[in-house]
């Protein structure tokens, strides 16, 4: 349980700030609290990945690709219903944000494996 919690907290510490920074860079004029909530809600995929526990690099890559699609779709759906974002092309941007957040998370996770063991 400790290793899962460490990995989960590391994932949140990496991905949520990436989502916040990307939203600002994309000029998504959404208040901080809703962005924090959606950033945290997107982390629901972490326990699923942990339970699947891909054992090879190919399996991890495939699982991360599915997660990027799921989180990108969820973020795009959320953003498309925000009145302040009605003039923004949010669905494609949401996929890019998801890809960036997950890539950062994977890279940090590979760089500091002792944290998640």
Cα maximum dimension of the chain: 44
Residue 115, CB-side half-sphere exposure with 13 Å CA sphere: 15
| Domains of the chain: total | 1
13-54 pLDDT tens trace: 999 999 999 998 988 888 889 999 999 999 999 999 888 888
**Which residue range forms the structural domain that includes residue 56?**
2-116
> Is 28 within 8 Å of 85 (Cβ atoms)?
yes
38 within 8 A of 75, measured Cβ to Cβ = yes
> Given this model, what pLDDT does residue 2 score?
77
pLDDT tens, residue by residue, 52-64: 888 898 998 999 9
What are 93's two structure tokens?
Answer: 């941007």
> pLDDT at position 97, please?
96
What predicted TM-score, i.e. pTM, was given to this entire model? 0.87
d(CA 107, CA 46): 15
């Amino acid at each position: 349980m400790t290793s899962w919690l460490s990995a989960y907290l590391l994932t949140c510490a990496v991905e949520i700030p990436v989502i916040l920074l990307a939203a600002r860079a994309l000029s998504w004029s959404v208040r901080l609290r809703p962005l924090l909530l959606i950033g945290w809600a997107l982390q629901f995929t972490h326990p699923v990945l942990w339970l699947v526990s891909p054992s090879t690099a190919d399996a991890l890559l495939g699982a991360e690709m599915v997660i990027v699609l799921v989180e990108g779709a969820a973020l795009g759906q959320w953003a498309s219903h925000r009145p302040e974002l009605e003039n923004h092309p949010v669905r494609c941007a949401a996929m890019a944000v998801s890809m960036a957040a997950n890539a950062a998370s994977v890279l940090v996770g590979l760089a500091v494996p002792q944290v998640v063991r």
